[in-house]
Amino acid sequence: MPYEKDSNKIENIFAKLGEVKSILVVQPHYDDNDIFAGGFLSLLADKGVNIIYLTVTDDKVGVIDQTLTDLEMEKKLRKEQKNAAKLMGNRIKHEWLNFPDAGDYDYFEVRKSIIEKIRKYKPQVLMTCDPWLRNEAHHDHLITGKAVAEAAILYPLRRLKTKKSIDHSYKDYELKWVVFYATDKPNSYVDVSAVFEQKKEIIKKYQMQFTDKSQKYLLSFLEAQANKLGNKLGMEKAEVFKVLSPIQLHGWTDN
């Protein structure tokens, strides 16, 4: 049972991270952060943490309504993000990279863009999807997760150039942790019992890519998963994560 609370393999994420002050949360699509980590992020918002959501793709392929123009899709997608953020006290700052959803784009351009945002915002913590999730088939998730992981170890290297104004003003700082959601190898958990209903309401704001049936199924699945994890950890509902320091993301063989 890998999620036992008394196991050395998993611990409270706040005990591991300490007092979080700023977090850059990089998602492949506009709703991934809230779907996979909405409880934890709601708790951080309640604490007044500086939270930046960086969305890698333009999300247009997943939009159900085939009559919308590109501009109409963009406006509606961003409005849904704004409506979701309202439920978190409008504490989320959004940025977008607009790479083509499910499309052909360059990994190194994504990595460069993420390094630029790390240098710009100097977050204490990075968060993204786990690119090493068993059976993960979505290219956007694989690129995003790996690009964030590599950016976490390369951002201090000044010979890697991003935007000139950002690079010129950048001063060295320490990124402490990288947090992976949608992982099957968690080492950290958070009790989301008190905020899970809010998480569900946040997810309901994302409607462009869901039918009523598919969204109900998603919410039911997420609740069942949170209940299952919580039961194993001795609480009502839980989310789990893999938390690593940047040094553990390159040649680290100590288990």
Portion of the chain with pLDDT greater than 90, in percent: 95
Q: Which residues on adjacent β-strands are paired with residue 243?
A: 179
Residue 254: pLDDT over 90? no
Query: What is the rounded average pLDDT of the residues 194-202?
Result: 98
What are 214-229's pLDDT values in tens digits?
A: 999 999 999 999 999 9
Look up residue 87 and give its two tokens.
């439920």
Residue 1: pLDDT over 50? no
Give me the DSSP letters along 71-125: HHHHHHHHHHHHHHHHTTTT-EEEEEEEEPTTS---HHHHHHHHHHHHHHH--SE
Query: What is the rounded average pLDDT of the residues 191-203?
Result: 98
The pLDDT assigned to 69 comes to 98
What are 75-95's pLDDT values in tens digits?
A: 999 999 999 999 999 999 999
How, if at all, do strands 177-181 and 238-244 pair?
Answer: antiparallel
Give me the DSSP letters along 156-216: T-TTS---HHHHHH-------EEEEES-SS--EEEE-TTTHHHHHHHHHT--TT--HHHHH
What are 200-210's pLDDT values in tens digits?
A: 999 999 999 99
Query: What is the rounded average pLDDT of the residues 152-166?
Result: 98
Portion of the chain with pLDDT greater than 70, in percent: 96
Look at the block and give the residue holding tokens 């935007």: 163
Query: What is the rounded average pLDDT of the residues 36-43?
Result: 98
What are 122-158's pLDDT values in tens digits?
A: 999 999 999 999 999 999 999 999 999 999 999 999 9
Query: What is the rounded average pLDDT of the residues 178-187?
Result: 98
Query: What is the rounded average pLDDT of the residues 104-117?
Result: 98
Q: What band does 193 get if pLDDT is binned at 50, 70 and 90?
A: very high
Residue 255: pLDDT over 80? no
What are 241-251's pLDDT values in tens digits?
A: 999 999 999 99
Please give the order of strands across the beta sheet that includes 50-57.
11-12, 188-191, 238-244, 177-181, 125-129, 22-27, 50-57, 92-99
Out of 6-20, 68-82, 169-183, 229-243, pick the least confident.
Answer: 6-20
Helix (H/G/I), strand (E/B), else coil: 224: helix
CA atoms of 10 and 187, how far apart (whole Å): 4
Look at the block and give the residue holding tokens 């993420």: 114
> For the chain, which domains are there?
11-249 (3.40.50.10320)
User: Which of 182, 178, 192, 173 shows the shortest CA–CA distance to 136?
Assistant: 182
Query: What is the rounded average pLDDT of the residues 179-192?
Result: 98
CA atoms of 27 and 143, how far apart (whole Å): 10
What are 6-28's pLDDT values in tens digits?
A: 445 799 999 999 999 999 999 99
Pairwise pLDDT comparison (5 vs 69), residue with the higher score: 69
- Taking each continuous run of H as one helix and of E as one strand, the counts in the chain are 8, 8
CA atoms of 206 and 34, how far apart (whole Å): 10
CA atoms of 185 and 130, how far apart (whole Å): 9
User: Which of 147, 149, 143 shows the shortest CA–CA distance to 175?
Assistant: 149
The pLDDT assigned to 9 comes to 79
User: Which of 60, 64, 68 shows the shortest CA–CA distance to 30?
Assistant: 60
The pLDDT assigned to 4 comes to 52
